[in-house]
Structure formats: C-alpha cells, structure tokens
Amino acid sequence: DTVLTQSPALAVSPGERVTISCRASESVSTGMHWYQQKPGQQPKLLIYGASNLESGVPARFSGSGSGTDFTLTIDPVEADDTATYFCQQSWNDPYTFGAGTKLELK
C-alpha cells in the first residue's frame, strides 16, 4: 500500500503562513486530496487533485505538488483553522490516508 507521511503537529500564530506536507512512498501523480477535521466533526474536503480548491473553501487554502511530495498551504492562518489535516491518495489501490497533521494556533 502507498504510505503517506505527514508531520504530526504544527503550531503557528494567527496571520502567519503555514505549509503542511505529505510525502508518498511511491508516485501518486496528482491524485492527492486534503481534508480538514475538527474534533467531533466529519472530515471536510479542502483540496482535490493536488491543487483544486473545493467550492466554498476559502482561498486562503491552496495545494501543490505532484509525484511524491505535496503541500497544503494556509495563508493567512485564522483561529478557526485549528484542526487536523489529512492527505489522501487515489492513484494507487487501495486508497490510503496520511496520519494527519494537528495544527494548533499560538
């Protein structure tokens, strides 16, 4: 299975720019997607196809990458962005998820 590696946690101040990384153990082309999950809620789609912003998601969120290295950027970060962010790949079977990056605000 394709393993997706994310850093476990980040802490930033409101107004700053944050990048969350996801590295795949093998190429996933641009079949990488990002989700935000807040405690007690279901995951919410943010970015699909590595760089496409889901409808209704603020333009502060953006995604980039291809192959094995991907990035989710939030600029500027707001207090409401406190959450865990997951990457998910759909290029290789079975679909797999990263372990999530917990974003905390200082």
Footprint of other proteins (CB under 8 A): 1, 29-31, 33, 35, 41-45, 48-49, 52, 54, 84, 86, 88, 90-91, 94-97, 99-100
Task: Show the CA angle centred on residue 48, arms to residues 47 and 49, nearest 5°.
Answer: 130
Give the nearest distance from C-beta 51 to other proteins in angstroms: 11
Distance CA 58, CA 24 (A): 26
Give the nearest distance from C-beta 85 to other proteins in angstroms: 11
Closer Cβ to other proteins, 6 or 71, answer by number: 6
- Per-residue DSSP letters for 71-95? EEEESS--GGG-EEEEEEE-SSSSP
Give the nearest distance from C-beta 20 to other proteins in angstroms: 14
